[in-house]
Structure 1
């Protein structure tokens, strides 16, 4: 009788552990595969290009590699470094006549706050730049969105129609397509 009770309790404990493992807080999309840095960068690149106009894709190229000629200048503008990010796709206007910036960044370990702080500072700088100059661009900068997605991606969108662009990128990133 005692052996049956021990066996029953052991099985109950095992079932509880299995049930709790199923409730680990991760989305259950059926594919819990972790993306490599290269796969995540490609995902960001595709999501951003599909969400933007052909004109934006042509005139605001995406930065996806640290050895690009413009990388250090863009990183400095955004208040981040290559060491702060595992994966990224970034496009910003280098001309101070347009409030434009889109960044999808997967932060390195313990760098989420650094990335968020840098992107929010960039948005604040753009608002300040356009506050007394080009009211339409000030409005775009004021409506910019910076959010952390479920998978840890930090997404910044500052452009015309930012809500639609943000939603399209977010949906693509979260779907992993």
Structure 2
């Protein structure tokens, strides 16, 4: 038996470039808190870890009221009357209960080349069961020599609750969920004293 607690947020604001006037994400907008109980398998020799939790609470926090009023990141958006006057602010949190499956594996696939794979899959029991939120990270760590190290990575994120927005003829239109990709290239120098 195992219990897990995981918290994720960002440190700096995100923008819909080239527009840098209004942030579309900030620290704690969003923030994700996972708390669950389940079973874990770990093999240190193979550097493999798998976790299955049939009971996991996922809380999405949007502590920026402007973003919460927009319904960003799946929280309930603000309610306005026909004249556009605010009746009720948007909720700043959303709580779900569902299934969480995670997997992590790290291995030397060739001399001085290491592959690090991390996968997290979550589905909510109540809202659209079977629509799976995916967070998949894949990274190659390269040891060039004793002083130079490099890494190349990608991160795929899909959350069915997060609706993308697009501006068409000056009007912001909400569309469906989209896959997000992040690529990473890092080169580092290291010296041991």
Q: TM-score with structure 2 length normalisation? A: 0.26
Report the structure number with the largest CA radius of gyration. 1
* Structure (1 or 2) with the greater strand fraction: 2
